[in-house]
Amino acid sequence: MRLLVSNGTVVTAAGPVRADIACADGRVAALVEPAAPTQADEVLDASGCLVFPGFIDPHVHSRDPGATDKEDFGHSTMGALAGGITTVLEMPNAIPPVTDAAMFRERARHHERSAWVDFGLWGLSLGRSNIDELEGLFAEGAVAVKLFWGYALDRDTKQLIYNTAGHPPERLLAPPETGDVWDVCREVARVGGLLGAHCEDRHVLDAAQRATGAVETYAELMASRPDTAEAAAIALATELSRSTGCRFHVVHMSSARGAELVRSAQAAGVALTAETCPHYLLLTDASFDLLGPLMKVYPPVRAEADRQALWAAVLDDTISSLGSDHAPHTVADRQGPLGAQPAGMIGVETLVPLLLDEVTHGRLPVTRLTQILAERTARLYGLYPRKGALLPGSDADMTVVDPDASWTIDNEALHAKQPLSPWHGWRVRGMPVASVLRGRVVMRDREPVGERRGRLVRARHQAPATGPETATTR
Ligand SMILES: [Zn+2]
């Protein structure tokens, strides 16, 4: 099967270039001069369009298996496909969570039955209790291991407990102590993996919540989860990473203080990286009047100064990867007082359109979009150059974009099982109009084409860095 993607402008990580892309057997064969004679079984005409390496959303919670009233993998990956994503990296906190190699294999088989796009899998760190499983998880191809730092877990389901007061104490698994996290860092460094963590310091949150009391307004929500909690966790992560050589990734970073600390850690040579999400780049506390609890996330969306600092960090490469943090809830979950509602919004289908709009309005260079949604993300998670690039031999994954199409995001047109998006009614310019997955056209005009054909993609992380303490002493 030979596919030719013709007449488009290919946006590589180095910049835009006019070229046709010849694909054979699911891989990129060559970038060729436009209109050069090329044999093909099928031609995808990309005239007037931008052709990107298939975009990756590294931060998706599909709730599957487990809370499938909220979402499932078929719905989340169809949304990804419609929204111009060709690979999702699935978070490990379904029920049961991905805590060892056997569960990794089972989850991969489970998801291959319903995947519309390719997927990688995160593993879950439970602190010391599954530290011996991390090597096996990375050997299977886990893209990273996730630490929900500071969260207690349910002893049986290993689900996060947001409110320990309402949970039977005998079923609480206490959050890992700093020393346990240090051990996890040392082990991840030893096996050459990547640790990704939710960074909000538990003790700072506890103090802030004592001071705030019941949360009813957005100001109280912000006060109960201050940027000091994020900054304190990142400062500690910096030291743990520095001392172990562990590659440490701060997911969904939300604050100016966080960005400042990551920037200085990187300048000092620490292997710290960071992600942020569209809601932190496009919303502020002032958005709450319009959106209400639909924009409740942890860490919270903060002030205008934070939003601006995060943009600066995206543009100067302090933040090297963007994800949606697709975390669906039901209509029923969205009732009651703000403090009691769960945190999380959907986003896998709107990640690319929202960022394309930033490109068309000149706030985000088009080459930077390729870097943060493809090349840099693929490198970080051990998928490069199979994913994230259009080099000869790369998987022939492409997102084809009409940069001039203006349209309005409509929740009724989204593919999520619970299409409660805060972006309903947003006018955007730039639309993913076609996608190619391993050499096949799989999406046109934001709807799937043909059979679902998503598969597991295994990470191959590079050999461990020789940090000061990578020889384990646990
Ligand atoms: Zn998340």
What confidence tens digit (pLDDT) does each residue in 215-236 have? 999 999 999 999 999 999 999 9
Question: Stretch 437-441: mean pLDDT, rounded?
Answer: 98
Question: Stretch 52-57: mean pLDDT, rounded?
Answer: 98
Sorted by sequence, the CB contacts under 8 Å of residue 61 that are 6+ apart come out as 71, 90, 91, 93, 94, 325, 326, 327, 328, 344
Contacts 24+ apart (CB under 8 A), 214-220: 214/337, 214/339, 215/337, 215/338, 215/339, 216/337, 216/338, 216/339, 217/338, 218/285, 218/288, 218/338, 219/285, 220/338, 220/339
C-alpha of residue 150 to centroid of ligand 1, in Å: 14
pLDDT at 463: 65
Confidence grade of residue 183 (pLDDT, cut at 50, 70, 90):
very high
Closest CA to 412 of 428, 427, 423: 423
Please give the helix or strand (H or E) that residue 65 lies within, else none: none
C-alpha of residue 119 to centroid of ligand 1, in Å: 16
C-alpha of residue 25 to centroid of ligand 1, in Å: 35
* CA-based torsion, 213, 217, 221, 223: positive or negative: negative
Closest CA to 225 of 209, 214, 241, 213: 209
Q: Pinpoint the alpha helices (H) of 94-253.
A: 101-112, 134-140, 178-190, 202-212, 218-224, 227-244
Q: DSSP states of 266-297 as a string?
A: HHTT--EEEEE-HHHHH--GGGHHHHGGGG--
Question: Stretch 260-288: mean pLDDT, rounded?
Answer: 98
Confidence grade of residue 335 (pLDDT, cut at 50, 70, 90):
very high
pLDDT at 19: 97
C-alpha of residue 298 to centroid of ligand 1, in Å: 8
For residue 235, count other CB atoms closer than 10 A to its CB.
16
C-alpha of residue 325 to centroid of ligand 1, in Å: 5
* CA-based torsion, 63, 64, 69, 70: positive or negative: positive
Confidence grade of residue 121 (pLDDT, cut at 50, 70, 90):
very high
Closest CA to 16 of 49, 43, 45: 49
C-alpha of residue 326 to centroid of ligand 1, in Å: 7
- Residue 56 DSSP label: E
Contact 367, 355 (CB under 8 A): no
Closest CA to 245 of 84, 470, 399, 411: 470
b/e burial code for range 331-360 (CB count within 10 A of at least 16 → b): eebeeeebbebbbbbbbbbbbbbbbbbbbb
Confidence grade of residue 164 (pLDDT, cut at 50, 70, 90):
confident
C-alpha of residue 299 to centroid of ligand 1, in Å: 10
C-alpha of residue 259 to centroid of ligand 1, in Å: 18
Q: Which two tokens stand for residue 206?
A: 């506890």
With 90 as the cut, is the pLDDT of residue 88 above it?
yes
pLDDT at 468: 46
Partners of 406 in the β-ladder:
429
Sorted by sequence, the CB contacts under 8 Å of residue 249 that are 6+ apart come out as 144, 194, 195, 196, 197, 272, 273, 274, 275, 321, 380
C-alpha of residue 90 to centroid of ligand 1, in Å: 10
With 60 as the cut, is the pLDDT of residue 437 above it?
yes
C-alpha of residue 357 to centroid of ligand 1, in Å: 23
With 90 as the cut, is the pLDDT of residue 267 above it?
yes
C-alpha of residue 343 to centroid of ligand 1, in Å: 10
Angle between helices 227-244 and 256-267 (to 10 degrees): 20
Q: Which two tokens stand for residue 434?
A: 């076609």
Comparing 155-159, 275-279, 354-358, 395-399, which segment has the lowest mean pLDDT? 155-159
C-alpha of residue 446 to centroid of ligand 1, in Å: 25
pLDDT at 77: 98
C-alpha of residue 327 to centroid of ligand 1, in Å: 7
pLDDT at 474: 35
With 50 as the cut, is the pLDDT of residue 355 above it?
yes
C-alpha of residue 17 to centroid of ligand 1, in Å: 35
Mean pLDDT for the chain?
A: 95
